[in-house]
């Protein structure tokens, strides 16, 4: 089957040819005709299968058949969970609609940036609006945009929107759009929650499932390295340099760890950038742009920040830390092996992550082979450098003679956020007293006030 058989206009076919697309993917060949017929659609497809084109192309086709001039109302609304995904969908709309005449006007709105420029852009109206739910409701509240003429509503990455707690925002938006409209719901899986949402949102939908639920892409070569915690940084650096990876996306469980890994790679001479929720939108955009262009060799990301990132032919994904849920493992490795291309997914698994590994293997239905790192001596103890040690706030640092063993008992444990001293999260009395005694001298040396929270962190 070719795109010309799907009922698309010559202008859209020309744009697809410009982009180098020749044959529609399974999700495109099934979703595009159903969308063009005006049917509601419930589609499950893994990341990298081309589902963005599966809904943007028919939207462009249908709206171009009845163009409007003057102050355009929003006729197609596409909701997404993350800023990066919203930006990429916006780019796809522009790319596919470049040859339409008259051109359809589109825009993208999300939080993390100033709202006034978005209000200004929306004054003359848009045909297609791509939005994150929170910022969209802000704009509605400021009367910068109306949704009472929406003809097509798209919920993309619906499973992730539910995971991120957007269900209440979605319900508010549903009350703002017309009751009579086309609804397109795209998700990586058909979970129970997704089916419940579909039951309230969709009217006699066409159900499309082009991949088994929660399975990893067959085009991804998966492997694991069993490694002790102090060796992880060294092993990651070794894999990148030994295999001469030109591009790799590294996942961490926390923002703090993403920063630490980035700093370690930079000191090893590897161009790296971090992307997570604490970064400004400009910093996230710059990091993603540098990664796509090849200026940045390694991008280190948390799950939420990386959701929806579409890198053409990304060769390598690394799980520096295993995700909290097995389904997130599938989402992570789905960043590579996209659109039929091959890819490699590597996981650095510590002994205390064996339980998570078993759950992942159970979900994907097969064991993940253990790889050997040529040239890396796993038997050699690799001590952590100061930069690799978990960075504690100054008041929480362990001092010699405090009576606490580094490895013994609960006093040596530490949570991932860097704030807890022991298993209960409380500071020891001896440390607390010592800090109180040292405080007057410190105050004489400091010009400004200093704040101590209830846990003793500064």
How far is the C-alpha of 112 from the C-alpha of 114, rounded, in Å?
Answer: 7
Instruction: Compute CA distances 177 → 66, 159, 288, 424, whole Å.
Output: 20, 21, 33, 48
Q: Using 50, 70 and 90 to split pLDDT, how confident is the model at 86?
A: very high
Residue of 104, 91, 100 whose CA lies nearest to 14: 100
**pLDDT score of 91:** 93
**pLDDT score of 344:** 92
Mean pLDDT, residues 30-40 taken together: 96
- Tokens representing 16 are 């697809």
Q: Which helix (H) or strand (E) holds 283?
A: helix 281-293
User: What dihedral angle (degrees, nearest 10) is formed by the CA atoms of 284, 286, 291, 297?
Assistant: -100
Instruction: Compute CA distances 352 → 61, 358, 444, whole Å.
Output: 52, 12, 45
Q: Using 50, 70 and 90 to split pLDDT, how confident is the model at 399?
A: very low
| Minimum mean pLDDT range among 31-40, 128-137, 439-448 | 439-448
Q: Using 50, 70 and 90 to split pLDDT, how confident is the model at 217?
A: low
| Minimum mean pLDDT range among 62-76, 170-184, 380-394 | 380-394
Beta carbons of 194 and 158 less than 8 angstroms apart: yes
**pLDDT score of 262:** 96
SS3 251: strand
List, in sequence order, every residue forming a beta bridge with 279; answer none if it has no partner.
none
Q: How many CB atoms lie within 10 A of CB 191?
A: 18
**pLDDT score of 406:** 37
**pLDDT score of 47:** 64
pLDDT in tens, 331-346: 788 778 665 567 899 9
Backbone angle region of 321, left / alpha / beta, with phi > 0 → left and psi within -120 to 50 → alpha: beta
How far is the C-alpha of 188 from the C-alpha of 206, rounded, in Å?
Answer: 16
**pLDDT score of 308:** 57
How far is the C-alpha of 259 from the C-alpha of 388, rounded, in Å?
Answer: 11
Q: How many CB atoms lie within 10 A of CB 291?
A: 24
How far is the C-alpha of 21 from the C-alpha of 378, rounded, in Å?
Answer: 45
> Going from the N-terminus, what domains does the chain have, and what CATH number goes with each?
3-209 (3.40.50.300), 220-364 (3.40.50.300)
% residues pLDDT > 70 (the chain): 77
Residue 438 pLDDT exceeds 60? no
pTM over 0.75: no
In angstroms, what is the C-alpha Rg of the chain?
Answer: 25
SS3 250: strand
Q: Using 50, 70 and 90 to split pLDDT, how confident is the model at 44?
A: confident
Determine the length of the chain.
458
Residue 378 pLDDT exceeds 60? yes
**pLDDT score of 46:** 66
Backbone angle region of 358, left / alpha / beta, with phi > 0 → left and psi within -120 to 50 → alpha: alpha
């Amino acid at each position: 089957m070719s795109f010309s058989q799907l009922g698309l206009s010559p202008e859209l076919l020309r744009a697809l040819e410009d982009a180098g697309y020749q044959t529609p993917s399974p999700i495109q060949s099934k979703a595009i005709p159903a969308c063009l017929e005006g049917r509601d659609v419930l589609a499950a497809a893994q990341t990298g299968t081309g589902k963005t084109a599966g809904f943007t192309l028919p939207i462009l086709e249908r709206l171009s058949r009845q163009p409007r001039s003057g102050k355009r109302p929003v006729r197609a609304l596409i909701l997404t969970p993350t800023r990066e995904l919203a930006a990429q969908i916006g780019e796809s709309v522009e790319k596919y609609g470049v040859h339409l005449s008259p051109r359809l006007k589109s825009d993208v709105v999300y939080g993390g940036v100033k709202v006034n420029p978005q209000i200004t852009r929306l004054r003359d109206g848009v045909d297609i609006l791509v939005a994150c739910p929170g910022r969209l409701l802000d704009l509605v509240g400021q009367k910068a945009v109306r949704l009472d003429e929406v003809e097509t509503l798209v919920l993309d990455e619906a499973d992730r929107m539910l995971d991120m707690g957007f269900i209440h925002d979605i319900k508010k938006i549903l009350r703002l759009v017309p009751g009579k409209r086309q609804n397109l719901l795209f998700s990586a899986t058909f979970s129970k929650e997704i089916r419940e949402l579909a039951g309230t949102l969709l009217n006699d939908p066409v159900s499309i499932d082009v991949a088994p639920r929660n399975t990893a892409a067959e085009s991804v070569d998966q492997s694991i390295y069993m490694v002790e915690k102090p060796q992880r940084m060294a092993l990651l650096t070794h894999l990148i340099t030994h295999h001469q990876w030109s591009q790799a996306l590294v996942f961490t469980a926390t923002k703090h760890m993403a920063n630490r890994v980035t700093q370690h790679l930079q000191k090893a001479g590897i161009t790296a950038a971090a992307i997570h929720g604490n970064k400004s939108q400009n910093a996230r955009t710059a990091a993603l742009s540098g990664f796509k262009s090849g200026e940045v060799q390694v991008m280190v990301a948390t799950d939420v920040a990386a959701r929806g990132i579409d890198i053409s032919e990304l060769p390598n994904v690394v799980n520096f830390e295993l995700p909290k849920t097995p389904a997130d493992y599938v989402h992570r490795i789905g960043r590579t092996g996209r659109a039929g291309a091959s890819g490699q997914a590597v996981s650095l698994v510590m002994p205390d992550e064996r339980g998570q590994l078993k759950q992942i293997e159970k979900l994907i239905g097969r064991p993940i082979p253990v790889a050997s790192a040529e040239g890396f001596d796993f038997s050699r103890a690799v001590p952590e450098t100061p930069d690799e040690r978990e960075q504690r706030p100054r008041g929480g640092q362990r001092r010699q003679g405090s009576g606490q063993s580094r490895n013994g008992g609960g006093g040596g444990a530490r949570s991932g956020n860097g704030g807890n001293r022991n298993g209960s999260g409380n500071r020891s009395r001896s440390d607390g007293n010592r800090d109180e005694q040292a405080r007057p001298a410190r105050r004489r040396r400091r010009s400004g006030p200093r704040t101590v929270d209830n846990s003793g962190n500064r």
